[in-house]
Structure 1
Amino acid sequence: MVEDVQPVVIVGGGFSGAMLAARLAERGVASSLVDRTGAFGPGLAYSTPFERHLLNVRSDRMSAVEGKPDDFVDWLKDNCPQHADPDGFAPRRLYGEYLQHRLNAARLAHPGMIELVTGDVAAVEDDGVRLADGRVFRARAVVLATGNPAPKTVGAGSRRVITDPWALAALERIGPEDEVIIVGSGLTMVDMALWLDAKGRKGPIKVLSRRGLTPRVHGAGHDHPQPPTGAMLTGPLSRRLAEARRLASDGGWRGVMEGLRPVTARLWAEADAKTRARWLRHLRPWWDVHRHRIPAGVDETMSRLEAAGRLSITAGRVERIEAGAGGVTLHLRPRAGSARPPITGQWLIDCTGPGHAALDDPLTGALIRARRARLDPVGIGLDLDAEGRLLTADGSPDVRLFALGPPARAAYWETTAVPDIRKRIEGLADRLARVQTGPQASASR
């Protein structure tokens, strides 16, 4: 008699977790997909109902299935043909529906292979996970696919500081003429500006970030990759940057960025801690705005808001935040001894991006304190091996504990975009299909 083995427990029901569950089912591996919200598939990233929140990657690159590049476009053709342009940028709402469709299709095609569990994981234990309500799920392996952590907000605690930019109820409190401060100038800031504009909020939008950099715009079509030269791949960082600038001046920076996509993870993995720290300190802000671009139509809206004086971008650092009953005052750190006037508004929205404080997270912090995990050498996340397994305090891999998507950023760097994550889903599904474990223990549920 062949005994059943325990399922894989996946913590997090967004893109990474849901698409891993679907792929595991297709490989004959059962899983329990646990999510605190019960929004299986879209997750936070693709749950926005706002039609003008578009994908930042062209539709023909957004297939959730490795080896089936037309999967998303084909789904659009069948369900929303008006958005089925392969070179277009579909609404993120539709992509969330596509992910739900794929997950549900896998459940129908492979009955009993995917269990959906709504609940909050309180702890990762030696043999599975324990939920906050006391339920215990035994597992052959546990995969942390918890997505991006919340920002580390300065000034949290005031109702005038909106710590979650996706909390629609909080955003709805903003009045038509209210002045809004946004800290952070990346993609989430763009989303908030689009929402405020479309919802008839006419008050000024005052954006602050350390360097005042904003996302660059996509070109008219797919950019031809400019293969990186040897001088870009080896040697001192200053020489690599000089070579990248030379290539960008010859053929355009978009081609240079496209050429780096296939080798980014390898370059990060090969770099020592000192080099990684220099990249984070000096290169990351410039990398982010060139790598994570916005559609031309979105860029036109942002330019229109700036030209009308409704959107301003300021470079600077926050010294302190004063939040009272009537508004928020943002005090800036002086530069070279010169005082800078504060920024005032009725509301502050935190768009600084993921906090990435593994020690502060209830799950990963507990694993680190128990020596079942450790921080990576530069302290931006969990330390993993090449197969995505968490490394324990002594550097040995935990054969039953994996990270996927944003929680794996310290190992792979580029691990938030769909084309990158789906490749890792394929590799992880292959790995988990080969894991040999004992008989299934009954779960207390």
Structure 2
Amino acid sequence: MAAMQLARLPGPLAGTVHIVEPRPAPGPGLAYTARRPEYLLNVRAPFLSAFPDEPSHFSDWLRTNAISCEHDFCSRQTYGRYLQEMVAGLLHQPAANGLTFHWHPQAAVAAELATNVRHATVRLANGTELLSDAVVLALGNFPPASPARPGDYLAHPNFHGNPWAQGALRNIAPDDEVLLIGTGLTAVDVLLGLRADGHRAPVTVVSRHQRWPTAHGPASTPYPSFYEQELRGLHTVAEVLAAVRHRVREATAAGWDWRPVFDSLRPDLGQIWAAWPLAEQARFLRHLASIWAVLRHRSPPQNDEIVRGMMATGQIRMLSGRVSGIAVEGEGLMVQTHYRQQHHSMRTRHVISCTGPLLNYSRIQDPLVVSLRTAGYLQPDTLGLGIQTDAHGALLDAAQQASPLFFTLGPSRRPAYFESTAVPELRQQAVALAQELRRRW
């Protein structure tokens, strides 16, 4: 999206935009690469245009390609095809503003300031070095952290630490026992994938709170924003929570569903988050973040119906608690869990971690991240949500000085916005960053 917005800047411009992407094709990224039609987007098609100034762009593309989506929830691979086509257009010929785009099917392994400190050098896995006026870290999400202490299980073929990895889950036979860690949207996708593969054995799901994502309701009229009247100027979690609860009660009494009330907060979530002191942000993460995720990041109704059906028939078995240990036991794995004062051990053939992406940049071991972190160009935030940046997405160093060369967008900017993973937020960040880079040029 950042590349597409650079192509739309007013010209004339000169220069090359290097897209460094080691996957088989640039565009789909991790989320939309999986070739599984049962993996659905959790946002309706009319809200997924890559361009905020053309809200019907994705819907128009679907009609042009004669693609229909049940209840407007398309597959992830369909959206990946959409993005891939957009990027392919950039690579085919120079943009109207004069910029050219070049794809490097390699991973970036290091980045540093050049000798004159006015440029950065990015080194690729094959040894290529790119001298750049600006470097945008559009790194997306990293695989989940290990759900237990490191051990031999991490290298076991039946431990699936990244369910999005290419070929993941393909060695699971229909009657193999499976234990799933987590109950978020990733867990829903995994369950649908197992079902599509003909898996028959019961699946044990370990979760601290046993909360599945809420299902989307019917498409409805947007609820009017109440941020200015009731939320601006509130500096504690308790104040915001009380105001939102009050508004939901009023709206429900007037015949509204609660979901549009929640959705009306979306454009102002960054301001609500930024108004909280660090201690209040930490309080929200401790007490409300898991509930927020269930209510805010919803599941397509057809997916929710399938999961509820699997629970009703006993194919999904719920186990309350947290995984405290995993050990290799022959061809299977022994999993220890604890819940309050109770401990439980269970042997299973496969373990799949669905705990969500690793956000803490002090723990991420990607070579490029390590390079930037070691050199002091990249500072993880205190709460372990992403990277410290200024208002334009420029990376802050240890002295809190904004870099003139290194920028980021997407999930890495969660410290600034908290919500920084979905298409509506990403496309706005891409527009703003492209404009900022143009201003600096």
The TM-score normalised by the length of structure 2 is 0.89
Deviation at 1:125, TM superposition (A): 1.2
Could you give the per-residue CA deviations for residues 359-380 of structure 1, whole angstroms, max 9, x where no partner exists?
A: 2333233323322221223232
Deviation at 1:242, TM superposition (A): 2.7
> Using the alignment, how far apart are the partners of 2:16 and 2:5 within structure 1?
10
Residue in 2 that maps onto 1:40: 26
Kept in 2: contact 1:143–1:402 (CA 8 A):
yes
Contiguous gaps of at least 5 residues in structure 1: 1-18, 437-445
Aligned pairs for 1:273-288 (under 5 A) are 273-288=278-293
> Using the alignment, how far apart are the partners of 1:107 and 1:160 within structure 2?
39
Q: 1:121 aligns with which of 108, 129, 139?
A: 108
Kept in 2: contact 1:217–1:294 (CA 8 A):
yes
Amino acid of the structure 2 residue aligned with 1:419: P
Residue in 1 that maps onto 2:350: 347
> Using the alignment, how far apart are the partners of 1:259 and 1:152 within structure 2?
32
Change in Cα spacing, 1:245 to 1:91, as seen in structure 2 (3 Å) is: same
> Any idea what SS the aligned residue of 1:434 has?
helix
Kept in 2: contact 1:22–1:114 (CA 8 A):
no
Residue in 2 that maps onto 1:219: 217
Residue in 1 that maps onto 2:86: 102
Residue in 2 that maps onto 1:386: 391
Could you give the per-residue CA deviations for residues 303-361 of structure 1, whole angstroms, max 9, x where no partner exists?
A: 110111001233311121122223222211241x3x24323321001111111231233
Deviation at 1:405, TM superposition (A): 0.9
Given the alignment of the two structures, is residue 395 of structure 1 paired with residue 400 of structure 2, yes or no?
yes
Kept in 2: contact 1:25–1:31 (CA 8 A):
no
Kept in 1: contact 2:237–2:276 (CA 8 A):
no
> Using the alignment, how far apart are the partners of 2:412 and 2:6 within structure 1?
20
> Any idea what SS the aligned residue of 2:405 has?
strand
Change in Cα spacing, 1:396 to 1:215, as seen in structure 2 (3 Å) is: same
Residue in 1 that maps onto 2:116: none
Kept in 2: contact 1:58–1:88 (CA 8 A):
yes
Residue in 2 that maps onto 1:424: 429
Kept in 1: contact 2:138–2:410 (CA 8 A):
yes
Given the alignment of the two structures, is residue 26 of structure 1 paired with residue 29 of structure 2, yes or no?
no
Q: 1:290 aligns with which of 291, 295, 300?
A: 295
Residue in 2 that maps onto 1:365: 370
Moved more, 187-196 or 267-276: 267-276
Deviation at 1:241, TM superposition (A): 1.7
> Using the alignment, how far apart are the partners of 2:182 and 2:359 within structure 1?
15
> Using the alignment, how far apart are the partners of 1:151 and 1:235 within structure 2?
32
Percent of aligned positions with the same letter in both sequences?
A: 34
Change in Cα spacing, 1:406 to 1:423, as seen in structure 2 (3 Å) is: same
Could you give the per-residue CA deviations for residues 253-277 of structure 1, whole angstroms, max 9, x where no partner exists?
A: 3123112101101122222211111
Could you give the per-residue CA deviations for residues 198-222 of structure 1, whole angstroms, max 9, x where no partner exists?
A: 1100111111122221110000113
> Any idea what SS the aligned residue of 1:290 has?
helix
> Using the alignment, how far apart are the partners of 1:356 and 1:82 within structure 2?
34
Residue in 2 that maps onto 1:7: none
Given the alignment of the two structures, is residue 49 of structure 1 paired with residue 35 of structure 2, yes or no?
yes
Amino acid of the structure 1 residue aligned with 2:110: A
> Any idea what SS the aligned residue of 1:341 has?
strand
Residue in 2 that maps onto 1:78: 64
Aligned pairs for 1:164-203 (under 5 A) are 164-167=162-165, 169-203=167-201
Structure 1 residue ranges (4+ consecutive) displaced by more than 4 angstroms after TM superposition: 229-233
> Any idea what SS the aligned residue of 1:149 has?
coil
Kept in 1: contact 2:332–2:350 (CA 8 A):
yes
Q: 2:124 aligns with which of 122, 125, 131?
A: 131
The TM-score normalised by the length of structure 1 is 0.88
